[in-house]
């Protein structure tokens, strides 16, 4: 991903106001900065044949408010306000397609671990973001390694909340993989079963059927995961969405792919130097990827209710 300074973006929405990009600053004693006490979303707006449209905005907003619940983080902006702010940001910066990052966190007041009296701060930024795992990743797939780091167990921290502090685990796993020459990691859960990628859910294909770890496997309830499950079933595939997948099953899978807002549908061609299937994008992955991109880029009218269009 190129740096923000190379991008043609100039505005961020912060606590109800549109502010200049360079002015969107926080105090260094912000609670969320010290303790990871924030929650966020990652959403994509696609350049569809009917103009820019946000993919599954309602579901992302649901998860945004739900993520705040375990932390007692009261977001004092309504769904409508966040929606209008986001649509305005896209429009006023002339973005056709972009990534959208809503964020809420405990702000500046005191630095006890208890966030008592720290205000909730909320911000939204949008910027152009192409393929997440490399230029040719969508077509040719990526090489990944199973991380030596395990995912937090959902008994230790709510893994279904998209909490800022959780992502140091993702960072450790991803950086370990990259230091070892891989593009991304697969992270096992505390029980040693496959959980997900650092920022993606995972699907396995075996004998034409799909398997993905269930929500009890300490994964994020990914919105792309849900979309893939729906699309796959509509295409006649059997989908096992409560699967427990052992590490060994990764190596013998016919196909593997990541699913996530940033990674979209990215084939996995190698795990730990073991070639998966024939070592390139498999037919089921390709079929679902085509269906997914036809949908998000507006080449079909299916699931129109999954899109929030700019008026």
Ligand X SMILES: Cc1ncc(COP(=O)(O)O)c(C=O)c1O
**Is residue 289 helix, strand or coil?**
helix
d(CA 266, CA 238): 20
CB of 170 to ligand X, least distance (A): 6
Q: Name the one range near ligand X by CB under 6 A: 93-101, 121-129, 193-201, 303-311.
A: 193-201
Nearest residue (CB) to ligand X, 143 versus 196: 196
Instruction: Identify which range of 89-97, 135-143, 199-207, 302-310 contacts ligand X by CB under 6 A.
Output: 199-207
DSSP per residue, 46-84? EEETTEEEEETHHHHHHHHHHHHGGGT----S-HHHHHH
Beta-carbon neighbour count of residue 214 at 10 Å?
14
Considering beta carbons, is residue 189 or 201 the nearer one to ligand X? 201
Question: Does the footprint of ligand X cover residue 36 (CB under 6 A)?
Answer: no
Residues in 214-233 at the binding interface with ligand X, rule: CB under 6 A:
220, 222-225
Q: List the catalytic residues.
A: 162
Q: Which of 37, 120, 218, 261 binds ligand X (CB under 6 A)?
A: 261
Please state the closest distance from residue 42 (CB atom) to ligand X, in A.
5
Q: Provide the strand spans (E) within the chain.
A: 11-14, 17-20, 38-40, 43-48, 51-55, 98-106, 120-127, 142-150, 184-188, 194-196, 201-206, 209-213, 239-243, 255-260, 264-271, 274-275, 307-309
Residue 38 makes contact with ligand X by CB under 6 A: no
Q: What is the DSSP string of 215-253?
A: GGGT----HHHHHHHHHHHHTT--EEEEE--BHHHHHT-
Cβ-based nearer residue to ligand X, 118 or 151: 151
174 touches ligand X by CB under 6 A: no
- Nearer to ligand X (CB atom), residue 42 or residue 128: 42
CA atoms of 281 and 258, how far apart (whole Å): 12
Which of 143, 184, 200, 264 touches ligand X by CB under 6 A?
A: 200
Residue 294 is inside which H or E element, if any?
helix 283-296
Between residues 225 and 281, which has the closer beta carbon with respect to ligand X?
225
Q: In sequence order, what are the beta bridge partners of 120?
A: 106
Which region among 70-78, 100-108, 141-149, 198-206 touches ligand X (by CB under 6 A)?
198-206
**Binding residues for ligand X (CB under 6 A):** 42, 170, 196, 199-201, 220, 222-225, 260-261
């Amino acid at each position: 991903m190129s740096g923000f300074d190379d991008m043609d973006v100039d505005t961020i929405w912060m606590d109800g106001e549109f502010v200049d990009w360079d002015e969107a600053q926080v105090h260094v004693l912000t609670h969320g900065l010290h303790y990871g006490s924030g929650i966020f979303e990652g959403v994509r707006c696609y350049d569809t044949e009917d103009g820019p449209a946000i993919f599954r905005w309602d579901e992302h907003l649901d998860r945004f408010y739900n993520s705040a619940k375990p932390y007692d983080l009261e977001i004092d902006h309504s769904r409508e306000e966040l929606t209008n702010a986001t649509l305005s940001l896209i429009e006023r910066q002339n973005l056709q397609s972009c990534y959208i990052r809503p964020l809420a966190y405990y702000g500046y007041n005191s630095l006890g671990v208890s966030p008592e009296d720290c205000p909730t701060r909320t911000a939204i930024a949008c910027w152009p973001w192409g393929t997440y795992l490399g230029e040719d990743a969508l077509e040719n797939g990526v090489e990944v390694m199973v991380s030596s780091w395990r995912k937090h167990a959902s008994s230790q921290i709510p893994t279904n909340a998209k909490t800022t502090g959780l992502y140091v685990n993702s960072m450790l796993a991803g950086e370990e993989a990259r230091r070892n020459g891989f593009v991304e990691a697969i992270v096992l859960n505390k029980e040693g079963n496959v959980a997900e990628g650092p920022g993606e859910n995972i699907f396995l294909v075996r004998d034409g059927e799909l398997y993905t770890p269930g929500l009890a496997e300490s994964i994020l309830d990914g919105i792309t995961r849900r979309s893939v499950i729906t699309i796959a079933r509509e295409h006649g595939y059997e989908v096992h969405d409560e699967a427990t997948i052992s590490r060994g099953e990764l190596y013998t899978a016919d196909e593997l792919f990541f699913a996530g807002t940033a990674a979209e549908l990215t084939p996995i061609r190698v795990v730990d130097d073991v070639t998966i299937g024939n070592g390139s994008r498999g037919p089921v992955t390709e079929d679902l990827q085509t269906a997914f991109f036809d949908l998000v880029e507006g080449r079909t009218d299916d699931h129109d209710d999954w899109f929030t269009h700019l008026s």
